Structure formats: structure tokens, C-alpha cells
């Protein structure tokens, strides 16, 4: 039909992301979430939006400035996208402030107050003055702006107060700013019976006479700046780590994309900031409430038990317990799948630590895209190298916003004797693979871990991901080939089971989609289930449209960006799309093909992956697509994880053909919450008896 060739068949990538962030923000108004968790969602939404400005809006603005007119796959020019996104972003910012205002009222009902100047009596002021002089005053650098004192450089996410002052004895006017270091606590707790908090900018205003003696405040506003924070690397860079260190310095001086100020700011001060920062007025956001809303996450430390999610303790996999913590013995007996965060990430750490300590292990090869500041995995790799093992670590320096930490880890590991490589200059290595080679009975046996998420013990507590451990010889050989490809740049002649982007993954996915169409033509069922973070790639979307037109039933769980329009008669009426937003960040990538049977089926083809279905993942990153062939693991992923996610009607949003998301919100007697289900049944291996309770409901695809 005509629409298969029309740009109207796609939703805009950037607007779809904004819709995702609205869903995140909506969790801060969800009364089923405890109050402090709702504040956390507000903070996440604000931080997400800042990064969106730093990268996506900055990129579009760069195209506009360069005169680029190339249209996006949905038919919008850069300037059209830029204008639409700015409009929607302003609406979202104001909604964030309204949410904050409501949350402030609810905090008061729970005896937690954020005080303004009018609520600071003399006793509180006396206590605050001591704190201010001892802890804050030494960190502040007030700057008067005049010909002898030029306007200072403000770094990305710079936060401060701009003010207009009058000298008391002669009436001279002074403009000044006070940059507020982001290392300072935003909320200070007063020594009162109830929890009374005051913001750092309020404290500064309270003692302004000690910063600018003999001056009177005429007008002021807090402000924040967001700069272009995307980075480009010269193609011929010889020392990649050194190049990134230099680029990171340049990032801090990127073009200002957004200046946010209070809506009470005087026109004179607004024009003053715009002139000094060399921006136009269209880049200024005037807002009520408070700026730098991401700092509200600091309130969570004042939590009370009833105001946060009830704690749960991830279970350590029973299989490994049965072998007294011996990961290698447990994996040798049978493949293992671990479902984070319901099952502990400690098993992954244990796998690497055991490899470092085991005298029979001769080599460890590891990819690291993101990890924690105090990474136990990096420490284990260093220990292994110091013990004389052959250790190779692929550090991805291009992991956005983690570049500095990754450079630091790389330097530390190199000092210990780890063979550190940085992968390809043109490609990010996003695959999550750990390969251990062990000497057993005069033979070398390989063990491999494939993950859908990062080797990051902190985010593993809040991201849903899968860890797959196996001794399958073909997969282990493929993992070894992958590392050789990363270190030696030479493409292997063939892969046995693994599919890799940018080499084979795109072709494999399209082949599998087309195969489901062939089953339909043979009079058999054709079905696809897939779970991912983002669906953007035009070629893959078109293949799904074609499959839908020919009768393949497709169920997609896409947490974030989705450029596919579901439910259009004659195009995508057989495609159903939902997004799950809740306590945990859905991060695992799973794809299931019916293989001539109705899903879920024991004969279905199941894959886990590190990749979303985006051009960057399929063409510009090194990613993995791993087949799941072990019957037990196959059943756990398909019948338990995928069925439960599709069944969820508590945290799920359905996408319609217009790009709007509608929360399902079933009544309590029909409610099924996937996150709650897995918390209460954390061990996949122990959930078989519950499968009858999780049968997939009939999904109405004609939405």
C-alpha cells in the first residue's frame, strides 16, 4: 500500500523519546508509588531531559546552524524537529514544576518541609549562620561583573545565582553572580524535631550581606546552563585515551543550548545573562518552582520506611548454591540464566572473582562498557593480572558520560599488566561478554557469560537484565573470535551460533522475520515477540509492517523510543506495542520467533541481545545476538519472563497509531504487575509451578 512508502509510517524519534520521559514523570504522580520514590521519578525525568538537551537537541541545533536540510525518516527537517521538540520540552518542564509543587505539599503532610526565607526564625538563622560560615562560605566565589571582572566561564550544568545590587552609601549598581558548586548539598537539614530542610540558594540569599557587605539586593534569579555535550573524535587519533581526555575538556566548553531561569527574573537580568552567554532569547526557559530538579533525589536520604519501596533481597542462584558457590562446576552441569535485579548480580562478580583466584584459570577476556566507581570486576581483573594470568579488557571510551571513569580504569589496569584495548575508532563496543579459559584434566575448557546489561553492580540493582552462563563450545569459540575481532580488527570467516553487529545481526533479524512470513504462506502460525529499549531502525520496522500485512502477529514491549505506528488497518493492525515503566528500568533485550508454532512454544526460537533495534546498534556498534537452545533456559525466558511482561497491566502503557500512550490500568481484581511478581518469585528455577498462573491473556490487537 502507499503508506509503506510514506514517511507517515514512522513516528518521530525525538518526540517518541519525550513521550517516554513523560511516562517516567507520570510515575511521580502515581499514588501507588511511595512518596520518596515519586520524588525519585521526578529527579530521573529532570536528569533525562537535561541529557536530551545536551545530546539530541544540541545535535539538531548543530544541523540547523550548518544549514542541513536532510529530513528524518518521518519527514521532518532539522529546524522542524528542533521547533517541535523545544515546544514539547517547555511543556514538560512546566509539568515537572507542577509535580514538584504537589510533592512539596505531600511532604508537609508527612512532616517534611522545604522552607523558604519567610519560615526562618531567629533561632534557625543563628544555627544556619554557623553552618554557612564554616561549610559553605569558603566554597563560594562571588563575582562582580564589570570591565575589570569579565563574566566567568560556566561549565555544563553550571548552577548559580545572578543578581543586581545597590551599594548603600552611594547607590552605585552592581551586577554579580555566585556560581554554586554542584558538590555542595542542595538541601540542608535543620536541627528540629520534624524534618525541616532549606535549599542552599535560600541559605546564600539569607546571608547575602556577608558575601556582599554594604550592598542591598534589588533583584535576583537562580539559573542553570546546559551545553552541547556530544563528542567527536578525529579519525586518525593515535592515542585514543589521550584524545578522549582532550575532548572531555572541550566538552565542558560546548555551546550553550539552554539557559533556565526563574520566571520572576527581571528583564534586565535576563538580557544581561543572554548577552554575556552569547545566546538568543529562544534558548531561555523561564520557569516557576526550583531549578536543577534532578537534585531532588537528595531528599531520599531523609526517607522514612513507609515513604520508600519495601526492601527486597535478591536471591543468589540456587544452582550455584548447590555447588557450594563454585560457578564453574554449576555452569559445567547446565547452562544458567540469571534474572537481575530479582536474582543477585553478585553471581557475575563471583564468576569473575573465582576466575581471578582459581589457579587453573589461564586467561580472562572481558568487555567493559560501563561499570561502578569502585568496581569489584575491575579489581578482580587487576588481581588476575597480578597473579600472572593472561587478562584482556576491552574498555569502551565512547560510553557517553562515562568516558572519564573508563579512562581512569584503563590506566589502573594497564599498570597491573592487563592488556587494555579500546576497540574500534568508528564503532562503540556495546556487547557484554566475559570469557574465562580454564585448564581441566589437561584440556582447556572455556566458560562464557553473555549479558543484556552492563557489568555495573549498582545499576544491576534497578535495571532488569539477563545474565547467561554457558560452556557451549560453539558459543565459547564464537566469543573467542569476537575478542580476536576486537583486538585484531580481522573479521572471522564464519560464526557458528553468535550473530554480531555490524556484521551479521541485521541480516539475521530480517531473515528470521521473513521466515515467519513463510510460515504464514504455508498455512502455519507466524508470530514474533520482542522486548527492547528502543525501536527506530527503518528497515526493520518496514519488515515488521510487511510481516503484519501478511498475517504475522507481533507483540512488542518497547520501553522507550518507538518509531513504529501500531494498529493501522492494512499496515500494522497485527502489531501491538506496549511500554512498561515502573520500579525497575526495563533493560533486557529478548526476541522470540514462533518458528511455525503459536507462541509461547517449546519449539520457538529465542535470542537474548545487547542491542536495541536502532541504526546505531545494528550498524555502528559491536553487539551480540545469542541463541538460547538449552530447554530449561528457553522455558524460563519465554514462558516466564516474556509472558509475565506481556501480561502486566499495572505498569504498562499501550501505544496507538498516533504516537500516544494510554495506561492500561486494569481494575484491582484483574491486576498483574510483572515487577511485583518477580520480586515475590525471584528465582526463575523455582517458578515453574507458577506458570499456570501466568498464562498470556488474549490481547486485542485491533486497537
165 neighbors 215 (Cβ within 8 angstroms): yes
292 neighbors 186 (Cβ within 8 angstroms): yes
Closest CA to 541 of 6, 166, 9: 9
Examine residue 47 and say whether the peptide bond preceding it is cis (omega within 30 degrees of 0). no
Residue ranges with strand state E in 526-565: 527-532, 553-558
179 neighbors 152 (Cβ within 8 angstroms): yes
Who contacts 35 (Cβ-Cβ below 8 Å, separation ≥6)? Answer: 103, 106, 107, 110, 307
Helix (H) or strand (E) holding 94: helix 78-109
Q: Other CB atoms closer than 10 Å to residue 183's CB: what's the count? A: 6
Largest pairwise CA distance in the chain: 93
* C-alpha torsion angle, residues 256, 258, 263, 265 (rounded to 10): 0
Distance CA 389, CA 644 (A): 42
Instruction: DSSP letter for 123, please.
Output: H
**Residue 54 burial (C-beta neighbours within 10 Å; 0-12, 13-18, 19+):** buried
Cell of 268: 534586565
- Radius of gyration over every alpha carbon of the chain, rounded to an integer in angstroms: 27
Examine residue 341 and say whether the peptide bond preceding it is cis (omega within 30 degrees of 0). yes
**Residue 422 burial (C-beta neighbours within 10 Å; 0-12, 13-18, 19+):** buried
Query: Given the DSSP bridges, would you call strands 390-395 and 589-593 parallel, antiparallel or unpaired?
Result: unpaired
Distance CA 395, CA 447 (A): 21
Distance CA 541, CA 6 (A): 13
The whole-angstrom distance between residue 3's C-alpha and the CA centroid of its chain comes to 33
Residue ranges with strand state E in 289-375: 336-340, 361-368
Does 340 participate in catalysis according to the annotation?
no
Cell 576466575, residue located: 355
114 bridge partner residues: 197
Indicate the length of the chain as a whole number: 703
Distance CA 474, CA 552 (A): 31
412 neighbors 503 (Cβ within 8 angstroms): no
Closest CA to 164 of 286, 263, 266, 261: 266
Q: How far apart are the first and last CA of the chain?
A: 20
Choosing from 339, 340, 430, 675, which is the catalytic residue? Answer: 430
Provide DSSP, 602-629: TT-EEEEES--BSHHHHHSEEEEEEEE-
Cell of 44: 530521573
Examine residue 75 and say whether the peptide bond preceding it is cis (omega within 30 degrees of 0). no
Instruction: DSSP letter for 115, please.
Output: E
Distance CA 678, CA 680 (A): 5
Query: Annotated catalytic sites, by residue?
Result: 430
Amino acid at each position: 500500500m502507499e503508506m509503506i512508502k510514506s514517511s507517515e509510517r514512522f513516528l518521530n524519534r525525538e518526540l517518541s523519546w519525550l513521550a517516554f520521559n513523560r511516562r517516567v514523570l507520570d510515575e511521580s504522580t502515581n499514588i501507588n508509588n511511595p512518596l520518596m520514590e515519586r520524588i525519585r521519578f521526578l529527579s530521573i525525568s529532570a536528569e533525562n531531559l537535561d541529557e536530551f538537551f545536551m545530546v539530541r537537541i544540541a545535535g539538531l541545533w548543530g544541523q540547523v546552524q550548518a544549514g542541513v536540510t536532510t529530513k528524518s525518516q518521518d519527514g521532518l527537517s532539522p529546524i522542524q524537529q528542533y521547533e517541535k521538540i523545544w515546544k514539547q520540552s517547555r511543556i514538560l518542564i512546566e509539568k515537572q514544576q507542577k509535580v514538584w509543587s504537589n510533592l512539596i505539599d505531600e511532604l508537609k503532610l508527612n512532616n517534611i518541609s522545604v522552607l523558604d526565607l519567610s519560615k526562618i526564625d531567629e533561632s534557625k538563622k543563628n544555627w544556619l549562620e554557623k553552618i554557612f560560615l564554616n561549610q559553605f562560605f569558603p566554597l563560594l566565589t562571588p563575582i562582580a561583573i564589570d570591565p575589570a571582572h569579565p563574566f566567568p566561564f560556566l561549565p555544563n550544568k553550571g548552577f548559580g545565582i545572578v543578581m543586581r545590587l545597590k551599594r548603600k552609601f552611594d547607590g552605585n549598581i552592581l551586577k554579580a553572580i555566585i556560581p554554586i558548586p554542584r558538590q555542595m548539598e542542595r538541601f540542608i537539614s535543620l536541627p528540629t524535631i520534624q524534618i525541616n530542610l532549606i535549599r542552599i540558594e535560600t541559605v546564600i540569599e539569607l546571608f547575602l550581606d556577608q558575601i556582599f557587605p554594604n550592598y542591598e539586593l534589588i533583584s535576583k534569579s537562580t539559573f542553570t546552563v546546559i551545553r552541547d555535550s556530544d563528542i567527536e573524535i578525529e579519525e586518525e587519533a593515535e592515542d585514543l585515551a589521550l584524545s578522549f581526555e582532550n575532548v572531555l575538556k572541550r566538552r565542558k566548553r560546548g555551546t550553550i543550548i539552554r539557559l533556565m531561569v526563574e520566571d520572576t527574573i527581571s528583564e534586565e537580568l535576563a538580557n544581561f545573562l543572554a548577552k554575556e552567554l552569547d545566546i538568543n532569547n529562544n534558548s531561555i526557559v523561564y520557569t516557576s518552582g526550583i531549578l536543577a530538579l534532578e537534585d531532588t533525589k537528595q531528599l531520599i536520604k531523609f526517607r522514612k520506611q513507609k515513604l520508600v519501596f519495601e526492601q527486597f533481597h535478591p536471591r543468589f542462584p540456587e544452582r550455584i548454591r548447590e555447588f557450594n558457590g563454585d560457578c564453574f562446576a554449576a555452569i559445567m552441569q547446565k547452562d544458567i540464566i540469571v534474572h537481575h535485579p530479582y536474582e543477585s548480580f553478585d553471581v557475575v562478580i563471583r564468576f569473575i572473582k573465582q576466575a581471578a583466584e582459581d589457579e587453573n584459570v589461564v586467561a580472562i577476556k572481558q568487555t567493559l562498557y560501563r561499570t561502578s566507581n569502585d568496581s569489584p570486576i575491575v579489581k578482580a581483573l587487576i588481581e588476575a593480572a597480578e597473579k600472572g594470568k593472561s587478562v584482556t579488557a576491552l574498555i569502551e571510551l565512547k560510553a557517553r558520560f562515562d568516558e572519564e571513569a573508563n579512562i581512569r580504569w584503563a590506566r589502573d589496569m594497564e599498570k597491573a599488566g592487563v592488556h587494555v584495548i579500546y576497540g574500534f575508532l568508528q564503532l562503540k563496543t556495546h556487547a557484554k561478554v566475559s570469557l574465562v579459559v580454564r585448564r581441566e584434566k589437561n584440556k582447556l575448557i572455556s566458560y562464557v557469560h553473555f549479558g543484556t546489561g552492563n557489568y555495573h553492580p549498582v545499576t544491576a540493582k534497578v535495571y532488569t537484565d539477563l545474565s547467561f552462563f554457558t560452556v557451549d563450545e560453539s558459543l565459547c569459540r564464537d566469543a573467542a573470535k569476537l575478542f580476536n575481532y576486537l583486538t585484531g580488527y580481522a573479521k572471522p570467516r564464519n560464526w557458528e551460533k553468535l550473530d554480531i553487529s555490524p556484521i551479521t545481526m541485521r541480516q539475521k533479524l530480517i531473515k528470521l522475520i521473513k521466515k515467519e512470513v513463510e510460515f504464514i504462506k504455508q498455512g502455519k502460525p507466524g508470530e514474533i515477540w520482542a522486548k527492547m529499549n528502543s525501536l527506530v531502525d527503518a528497515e526493520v520496522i518496514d519488515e515488521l509492517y510487511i510481516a503484519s500485512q501478511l498475517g504475522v502477529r507481533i507483540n512488542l514491549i518497547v520501553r522507550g523510543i518507538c518509531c513504529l505506528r501500531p494498529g493501522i488497518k492494512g499496515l500494522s493492525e497485527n502489531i501491538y506495542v506496549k511500554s512498561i515503566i515502573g520500579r525497575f528500568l526495563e533493560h533486557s533485550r529478548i526476541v522470540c520467533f514462533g518458528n511455525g508454532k503459536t507462541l509461547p512454544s517449546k519449539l520457538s526460537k529465542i535470542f537474548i541481545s545487547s542491542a536495541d533495534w536502532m541504526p546505531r546498534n545494528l550498524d555502528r556498534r559491536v553487539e551480540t545476538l545469542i541463541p538460547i537452545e538449552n530447554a530449561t533456559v528457553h522455558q524460563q525466558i519465554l514462558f516466564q519472563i516474556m509472558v509475565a511482561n506481556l501480561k502486566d497491566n499495572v505498569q504498562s502503557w499501550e501505544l496507538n497509531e498516533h504516537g500516544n500512550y494510554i495506561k492500561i490500568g486494569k481494575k484491582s481484581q484483574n491486576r498483574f504487575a510483572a515487577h511485583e511478581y518477580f520480586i515475590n518469585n525471584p528465582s526463575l528455577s523455582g517458578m515453574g509451578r507458577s506458570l499456570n498462573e501466568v498464562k498470556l491473556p488474549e490481547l486485542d490487537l485491533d486497537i
